[in-house]
Amino acid sequence: MATNICVNSGFGIDALLKEWTFVPQKTGSLAVQLVRLEYDDRATMLATVKVLVTITEEVLQFSFSHLIDMDNRLSPLAEKLLGRQIVIPIMVRFEWDATTAQVASLYSTQDLVNPFTKVLGSLKGAARVLNNSPLAVALGAASI
């Protein structure tokens, strides 16, 4: 891997490690399943994966603390999420540099809105949950 690798949050190994270690450390129960792997003629590999996150109290505390009041009571949205499994589709693009024989860039995109809308039953609820959530920020989701 190139030491100056390009990733969503910047450049270099430190940026890559920050991106890829944040989510597993803060989401508790997490599983990643490879769905599809594609290659193209431009030395690019596209991996389609799904990430399964179980919403635990710890996940609510860290990633959705705005859904918990000062007395540690869960909002109705947090109660709907607790114990549920969210399936997040993610596309990861690896670009290969043939001259250095290293991965030159690694970018990911994900859809958080649809999985949360499905679980919560409304786009408005998903927007409330994801807006300013550290998990959404870490995964690169735009504020809603």
**Token pair 């807006």: residue:** 131
Listed residue (9, 11, 34) closest to 23, CA to CA? 9
Among the residue ranges 2-11, 61-70, 112-121, the one predicted with the least confidence is 2-11
Question: Is pLDDT above 60 for 49?
Answer: yes
Could you tell me the fold of the domain covering 6-138? Nuclear Transport Factor 2; Chain: A, (3.10.450)
Instruction: Identify the pLDDT of residue 121.
Output: 95
- The torsion of the CA quartet 69, 134, 86, 128, rounded to 10 degrees, works out to 50
pLDDT at 2 (0 to 100): 66
- pLDDT, residue 82, reads 94
Which of the pair, 59 or 137, is modelled with greater confidence? Answer: 59
Comparing 142 with 122, the larger pLDDT belongs to 122
Tell me the per-residue pLDDT of 98-134, one tens digit each, with 9 for 90 and over.
888 887 888 888 889 999 999 999 999 999 999 878 7
How confident is the model at residue 61, as a pLDDT?
87
Domains of the chain, residue spans: 6-138
The per-residue pLDDT for 143 is 35
pLDDT band, residue 144 (cuts 50/70/90): very low
Higher local confidence (pLDDT), 11 or 89: 89
Q: Torsion angle, CA of 39/41/42/48, rounded to 10 degrees? A: -20
